Amino acid sequence: MKLILLVEDDSFLIDIYTTKFREAGFDVESVVDGAEALRKIKEKKPDLVVLDIVLPHQDGWEVIEKIKKEKKLKDIKIIILSNLGQRSEVEKGLRLGAVKYLIKAHYTPTQVLEEVEKVLL
């Protein structure tokens, strides 16, 4: 079973996406801040990280930069799921190594799941 690490600080969204991903047959773990995300990524080596950018302690930009710098982690796939939707932010996310950049307001949970499945299946 593929493991998705959901890095999100909104408990409502954690519930929605955890339920959606589990119903589709994925194993899901969630964390609420960037520092915790890095610890969990090193420990579990998930198949995919669904990463918010605006997070407490360490933002998503720091998380993605640190993942991509580590040899053992750099191949982990990352989908950014954020409300930051400026073109420069989207370009930055993709340049840093995200496979997709999804703007929360533009995607329903079902559409996010479809994008996750495209990356993992």
Which residue's entry shows tokens 């899901």?
A: 28
Task: List the CATH number of the domain containing 17.
Answer: 3.40.50.2300
Give the pTM: 0.97
Give the structural domain span for 7: 3-120
Structural domain count of the chain: 1
β-sheet bridge partners, residue 101: 80
Round the average pLDDT of the chain to a whole number and report it.
97
- Is the predicted pLDDT of residue 121 greater than 90, yes or no? no
**Which tens digits make up the pLDDT trace of 70-102?**
999 999 999 999 999 999 999 999 999 999 999
**Cα(93)–Cα(83) distance, rounded to whole angstroms?**
13
